[in-house]
């Protein structure tokens, strides 16, 4: 079934059953998304009511297509979806997406229906994505089974989410941070294929550098653990878990039919499996971006540099908590920095390094970076305060990042709108940048946790 799922997630041909030119129930149909993103595979709309949809020939049913199908997207209600799934199975389709809700998350009848779904899937060995899902996107294939349209671009992060809305929040946060996605998968009820299946299959895709998961509850935590542990040995996996409160469990049950369960047990399991756990959708994006863009540190010694000390102080609060050390700078570095910013600058040079207003000059900033290049730090936390009238030393920071080959997080104190074009340029130059010191710290902390996890496993295996 895994090979079929792989083909379904990389479809060369797709049928969309229940497509409509007046798609009320699911907003706007996948056909629109496929056409507007220039999907290169074959598109077969299916609806007996139409001759064509958006200029593409429309078929009355699956059978009349007469070609192999990698994926069948089923937009019909939960009852009608069963018949189409059966038909797709008979025709040997490699996979199906069932969007409709109305299964185990609503009542006993729905539960029975979900069991029927599982039986059909098993009988024909057809993997099912969903039900009760927005479907998935594979951005490197320009493929979208999802029925709503959102703005992003191909990238290195695979978002796999038990909730379309929270997955969307992670995806939007990444877009705000100028990070693209490789995949965006809605697990939904996960009646047939769950997190472990998606992790395994998507892990084969060379475009993927990081996984970013949103989990409500896991049916099979042991299977997830075994699978995640194998993945995290090679690739970072970020996880955000819902349902810390008991009352939330009730709401979750009627959402994707999952029990959120004992949060503490999940937390321990995530840690053991080497996942990087975060506390919000935004932080999932922050950590995923850092893990996708940066090298891992080879130790825990961080150097912070700023010309307005406050941001490095609030960053320090978080970095120290996570286990980073702030060793002092060497006398050699101290002399080097003095020679750049002047002997008389009234500031005590220590780590965090506060250059004061003199650091605001691009030539001074890059001069000090040159001094720090060979100092024995494992990571850098560089703050720049945006000023509409002073050039940001982007090329100099890019050079530093390339030279040191260590993780460097840049914090640009600016609002999102004035930062936009710089964030684009920095992303292109592979400089990892955030707009608040707290986000910068969250980013470095994710790297340190992954470094420690890999180190722990290395020790265990030695």
Residue with smaller CB distance to its own copies, 272 or 416:
416
As measured in angstroms, the least distance from the Cβ of 405 to its own copies is 27
CB closer to its own copies out of 281 and 294: 281
Residues 294-313 contacting its own copies, CB under 8 A: 306, 308-313
Closer of 93 and 117 to its own copies (Cβ)? 117
Residue 445 engages its own copies in binding (rule: CB under 8 A)? no
Instruction: Decide: is 74 part of the binding site for its own copies (CB under 8 A).
Output: no
Nearest distance from C-beta of residue 394 to its own copies, angstroms = 18
Q: Hey, what are 162's tokens? A: 């038990």
Choose, by CB under 8 A, the member of 173, 212, 288, 445 that binds its own copies.
Answer: 173
User: From the CB of 215, what's the least distance to its own copies, in Å?
Assistant: 11
What would the 3-class secondary structure string for the chain be?
A: CHHHHHHHHCCCEEEEECCCCCCCCCCCCHHHHHHHCCCCCEEEEECCCCCEECCEECECCCHHHCCCCCEEEECCCHHHHHHHHHHHHHCCCCCEEECCCCCCCCCHHHHHHHHHHHHHHHHHCCCEECCCCCCEEEHHHCEECCCCCCCCCEEEEEEEECCHHHHHHHHHHHHHCCCCEEEEEECCCCCCCCHHHHHHHHCCCCCCCEEEEEECCCCCHHHHHHHHHHHHCCCCEEEEECCCCHHHHHHHHCCCCCCCCCHHHHHHHHHHCCCEEECCHHHHHHHHHHHHHCCCCCCCEEEEEECCCHHHHHHHHHHHHCCCECCCCCHHHHHHHHHHHCCCCCCCCCCCEECHHHHHCHHHHHHHHHHHCCCCCCEEEEEEECCCCCCCCHHHHHHHHHHHCCCEEEEEECCHHHHHHHHHHHHHCCCEEECCHHHHHHHHHHHHHHHHHHHHHHHHHC
Size of the site for its own copies (CB under 8 A): 96
Site for its own copies in 94-113 (CB under 8 A): 100-102, 105-107, 110
Judged by CB under 8 A, which of 76, 281, 340, 408 binds its own copies?
A: 281
List all residues 6 or more positions away from 339 whose beta carbon is below 8 Å from its beta carbon: none
Cβ-based nearer residue to its own copies, 7 or 289: 289
Distance in Å, CB of 68 to its own copies, minimum: 30
CB of 373 to its own copies, least distance (A): 23
Least separation, in Å, of the C-beta of 271 and its own copies? 19
Nearer to its own copies, 64 or 387 (CB): 387
- Please give the order of strands across the beta sheet that includes 302-306: 353-354, 302-306, 379-385, 408-413, 432-434
Q: How far is the CB of 382 from its own copies (least distance, A)?
A: 13
CA distance 142 to 74: 19
- Among 22, 24, 66, 460, contact with its own copies (rule: CB under 8 A): 24
Write down the least CB distance from residue 15 to its own copies, Å: 21
Stretch that binds its own copies, among 24-32, 90-98, 400-408, 444-452 (CB under 8 A): 24-32
The single residue among 22, 67, 108, 247 that binds its own copies, judged by CB under 8 A, is 247
Q: Which residue, 67 or 348, has its beta carbon nearer to its own copies?
A: 348
* Options 23-31, 45-53, 202-210, 446-454: segment touching its own copies (CB under 8 A): 23-31
Residues between 152 and 171 that touch its own copies (CB under 8 A): 152, 161-169
Min dist. Cβ of residue 349 to its own copies (A): 9
Which residue, chain included where needed, has tokens 């009238």?
Answer: 389
Contacts (CB under 8 A) with its own copies, residues 377-436 = 383, 385-390, 413-418, 420, 435-436
Establish if 352 lies at the interface with its own copies (CB under 8 A).
yes
Q: Which is nearer to its own copies, 65 or 213 (CB)?
A: 213
Site string for its own copies, 176-195 (x = CB under 8 A): x-------------------
Residue with tokens 């995949």: 183
Between 13 and 163, name the residue whose CB sits nearer to its own copies: 163
Q: Are 181 and 174 in contact (CB under 8 A)?
A: yes
Binding pattern for the stretch 26-65 against its own copies, x by CB under 8 A and - elsewhere: xxx---x---------------------------------
Q: How far is the CB of 233 from its own copies (least distance, A)?
A: 29
Q: Which of 346, 421, 460, 461 binds its own copies (CB under 8 A)?
A: 346
Task: Look at residues 128, 141, 101, 263 and name the one whose alpha carbon lies nearest to residue 193.
Answer: 128
Name residues whose C-beta falls within 8 Å of residue 104's C-beta, 6 or more positions apart in sequence. Answer: 110, 111, 114, 189, 191, 257
Choose between 338 and 399: whose C-beta lies nearer to its own copies: 338
Task: State the nearest-atom distance from the C-beta of 65 to its own copies, in Å.
Answer: 26
């Amino acid at each position: 079934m895994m090979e079929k799922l792989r083909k379904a997630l990389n479809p060369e041909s797709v049928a969309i059953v229940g497509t409509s030119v007046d798609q009320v129930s699911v907003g706007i149909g996948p056909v629109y998304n496929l056409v507007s993103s220039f999907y290169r595979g074959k598109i077969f709309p299916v609806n007996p009511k139409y001759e064509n949809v958006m200029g593409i020939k429309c078929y009355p049913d699956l059978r009349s297509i007469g070609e192999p199908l990698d994926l069948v997207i089923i937009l019909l209600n939960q009852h009608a979806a069963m018949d189409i799934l059966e038909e797709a199975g008979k025709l040997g389709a490699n996979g199906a997406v069932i969007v409709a809700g109305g299964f185990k998350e609503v009542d006993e009848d729905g539960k029975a229906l979900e069991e029927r779904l599982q039986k059909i899937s098993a009988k024909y060995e057809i993997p099912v994505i969903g039900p009760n899902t927005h479907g998935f996107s594979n951005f490197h294939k320009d493929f979208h089974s999802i029925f709503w349209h959102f703005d992003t671009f191909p990238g290195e992060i695979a978002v796999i989410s038990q909730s379309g809305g929270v997955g969307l929040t992670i995806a939007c946060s990444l877009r705000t941070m100028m990070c693209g996605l490789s995949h965006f998968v809605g697990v939904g009820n996960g009646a047939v294929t769950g997190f472990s299946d998606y992790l395994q299959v998507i892990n084969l895709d060379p475009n993927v550098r990081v996984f970013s998961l949103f989990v409500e509850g896991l049916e099979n935590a042991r299977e997830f653990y075994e699978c995640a542990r194998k993945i995290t040995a090679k690739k970072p996996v970020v996880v955000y878990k819902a349902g810390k409160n008991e009352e939330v469990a009730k709401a979750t049950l009627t959402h994707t039919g999952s029990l959120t369960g004992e949060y503490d047990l999940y937390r321990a399991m995530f840690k053991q499996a080497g996942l990087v756990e975060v506390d919000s959708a935004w932080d999932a994006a922050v950590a995923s971006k850092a893990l996708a863009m940066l090298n891992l540190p080879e130790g825990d010694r961080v150097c912070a540099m700023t010309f307005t000390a406050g941001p490095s102080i609030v960053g320090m609060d978080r970095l120290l908590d996570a286990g980073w050390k702030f060793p002092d700078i060497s006398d050699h570095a101290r002399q080097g920095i003095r020679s750049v910013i002047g002997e008389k600058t009234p500031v005590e040079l220590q780590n965090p390094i506060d250059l004061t207003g003199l650091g605001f000059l691009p030539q001074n900033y890059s001069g000090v970076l040159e001094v720090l290049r060979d100092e024995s730090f494992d990571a850098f936390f560089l703050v720049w305060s945006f000023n509409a009238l002073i050039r940001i030393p982007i090329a100099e920071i890019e050079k530093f990042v390339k030279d040191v080959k260590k993780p460097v997080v840049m914090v640009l104190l600016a609002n999102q709108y004035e930062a936009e074009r710089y964030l684009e340029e920095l992303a292109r130059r592979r400089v990892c940048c955030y707009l608040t010191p707290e986000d910068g710290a969250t980013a470095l902390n994710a790297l340190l946790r992954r470094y420690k996890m890999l180190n722990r496993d290395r020790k265990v295996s030695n």
